[in-house]
């Protein structure tokens, strides 16, 4: 199911994690509010995009949104995201000539993780989503999960987002599902 490709014949090579506070000027921190902000015309203070701009969104209750859900889902059709304009990491060690938006799936976690902690439910839901995406062909390990801040000077997915723990948990789950014994 995850390997369905329509349009551009290319592979996703990574996952970029975001928090909504970095990219949406909204009072509420939920995926619907971010989506509304992204599609609101730029003349009215929004972004003027055709949809949310991320491929997936994860709510505080662990619910997962798929951008343009249905037959034209952004990630299935391999439509570029609108989440990171960069073509390389700030340190220059990661280069994506087609750009991060065209090479990586963007996942937005609802919340402001400069000010609040990520809920356990949201954390676990994000881990499950990343494990599923990675297992179905993006990559064999978790070293292709990046924070947005790796590509742009932003505190995203937030100072309180447990990024290292998140990636370590995804890596552990990938090894368990591959049948590798964990010491």
Which residue range is the domain that position 25 belongs to? 14-177
For strand 104-109 and strand 145-147, is the pairing parallel, antiparallel, or unpaired?
A: unpaired
Query: Do the domain assignments include residue 149?
Result: yes
Is the model's pLDDT at 50 over the cut of 70?
Answer: no
Q: What are the tens digits of pLDDT across the range 145-172?
A: 999 999 999 899 999 999 999 999 999 9
Distances (CA, A) of 53 to 70, 79, 140, 159: 15, 10, 26, 22
Query: Do the domain assignments include residue 34?
Result: yes
Query: Do the domain assignments include residue 92?
Result: yes
Query: Do the domain assignments include residue 183?
Result: no
Tokens for 99, please give them.
Answer: 């750009």
Can you say whether the dihedral through the CA atoms of 150, 155, 159, 165 is positive or negative?
A: negative
Query: Do the domain assignments include residue 69?
Result: yes
Number of separate domains in the chain: 1
Query: Do the domain assignments include residue 119?
Result: yes
Query: Do the domain assignments include residue 159?
Result: yes
108 by DSSP, 3-state: which?
strand
pTM score, whole prediction: 0.83
CATH code of residue 38:
3.40.80.10
Query: Do the domain assignments include residue 9?
Result: no
The mean pLDDT of the chain is 79
Q: Distance between CA 31 and CA 70 in Å, rounded?
A: 17
What's the pLDDT score for residue 180? 72
Average pLDDT of 109-114? 90
């Amino acid at each position: 199911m995850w390997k369905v490709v329509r349009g551009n014949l290319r592979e996703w090579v990574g996952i970029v994690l975001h928090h909504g506070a970095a990219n949406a000027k909204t009072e509420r921190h939920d995926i619907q509010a971010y989506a509304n902000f992204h599609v609101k015309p730029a003349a009215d203070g929004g972004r003027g995009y055709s949809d949310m701009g991320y491929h997936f969104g994860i709510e505080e209750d662990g619910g997962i949104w798929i951008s343009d859900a249905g037959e034209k889902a952004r990630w299935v059709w391999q439509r570029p995201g609108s989440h990171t304009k960069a073509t390389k990491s700030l340190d220059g060690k990661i280069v994506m000539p087609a750009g991060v938006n065209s090479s990586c799936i963007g996942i937005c976690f609802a919340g402001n993780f400069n000010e609040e902690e990520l809920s356990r439910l949201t954390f676990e839901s994000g881990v499950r989503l990343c494990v599923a995406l990675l297992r179905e062909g993006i990559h064999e390990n978790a070293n292709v999960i990046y924070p947005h801040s790796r590509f742009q000077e932003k505190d995203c997915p937030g100072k309180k987002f447990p990024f290292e723990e998140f990636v370590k948990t995804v890596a552990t789950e990938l090894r368990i599902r591959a049948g590798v014994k964990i010491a």
